Amino acid sequence: MTEAVAQKPAFSLAHLTALSLTPPELVSVAAQAGYDEVSFRLLPATPGGPAYSLMTDAAMLKDTLARMADTSVRVFDLEIIRLGERFDARDYLHFFETGAKLGARAVLVGCDDSDPVRRAQAFAALCELSAPFGLTANIEFMPWTAVKRLRDAVALVEEAGTPSNAGVLVDALHFARSDSTLDEVRALPRKWLHYAQMCDAPGGTPSTDAELIHTARCERLLPGEGGIDLVALWNALPRDLPVSIEIPNDQRAPLLGPLGWATQALEAARRVIDARA
């Protein structure tokens, strides 16, 4: 295998890109579009938000595993665990067990707890309990959360005692809108990087959290359509780092359908990877 081939990343279809699809449907669409992996949203990002509980739906879990076997599409990450004031990692043991059944390798973690000591303790406990299931715990910095910038995520991992399965998740949108720098990306320890999320968005940073959240959840652009320098960002990341394509767009995606949107997203993401120095 040549070095160029060895450094091509795997591509994962993030559930948020096609959240109307159930997990088995997402696997089938990912396979048809040419993805290697998928992510599943098993817990809602917000109270009452959409999610698919494979922890309790045995029939859906069986169907999902069958379609994975038929297509060779793997599960990369599971969403979303949030660190809040009353967080107890033991509440997520069934989540971890289901992740192990699916062969998942990563968990996406958000943080809403403004207390740095408490959230570090919570993250450390989460890492400890998820590790035996073969899962990494990846803190995603988002400018409207308690962990707003890349340096905040780094501080959280360090304050948690740098657990062996801890990770920092770089999402292109949040990177571009959070006063984070490419030098900070380059400085990240390789062992903390398990995957990154790709999308694009208009240039500039909205002035309110509501606008930031709206773009993130409803109006992302395909790579190359907006103002984020994705090539520069991916030049700063490891060349073989798996790429999760997370591009929800409430207006455009329904016009193309899940397969059409997922296919266009993958094609655009590959162009970014091919344009790296």
d(CA 28, CA 87): 34
**pLDDT tens-digit profile of 182-201?**
999 999 999 999 999 999 99
Q: Which two tokens stand for residue 79?
A: 């969403």
- Does the pLDDT at position 132 exceed 70? yes
Instruction: Give the mean model confidence (pLDDT) for residues 221-241.
Output: 97
**pLDDT tens-digit profile of 9-31?**
999 999 999 999 999 999 999 99
CA dihedral over 127, 152, 222, 241, signed as positive or negative:
negative
**pLDDT tens-digit profile of 157-190?**
999 999 999 999 999 999 999 999 999 999 999 9
Fold observed for domain 3-274: TIM Barrel (3.20.20)
**Helix boundaries (H) for the chain:** 3-6, 23-33, 58-71, 93-102, 116-130, 150-159, 172-176, 182-186, 209-218, 230-236, 253-274
Residue 203's pLDDT band, with cuts at 50, 70 and 90, is: confident
The single-letter code of the amino acid at 98 is T
Backbone angles phi, psi at 269, to 5 degrees: -65, -40
Q: Where are the domains of the chain?
A: 3-274
d(CA 231, CA 172): 11
Residue 207's pLDDT band, with cuts at 50, 70 and 90, is: confident
Neighbours of 25 (CB within 10 A): 16
The mean pLDDT of the chain is 95
Residue with tokens 């795997």: 10
Per-state percent for the chain, helix, strand, coil, to nearest 5 = 45, 15, 40
> How many residues does the structure list for the chain?
277
Task: Say whether the peptide bond before residue 80 is cis (omega within 30 degrees of 0).
Answer: yes
d(CA 168, CA 120): 14
Q: The whole model's pTM is what? A: 0.94
- Give the distance from CA 185 to its chain's centroid: 16
- Does the pLDDT at position 3 exceed 50? no
52: buried, middle or exposed (CB in 10 Å: 19+, 13-18, 0-12)? buried
- Give the distance from CA 160 to its chain's centroid: 21
CA distances for 20 relative to 49, 243, 257, angstroms: 12, 21, 10
Residue 206's pLDDT band, with cuts at 50, 70 and 90, is: confident
d(CA 48, CA 45): 8
Q: Of 57, 95, 59, 58, whose CA–CA distance to 78 is shortest? A: 95
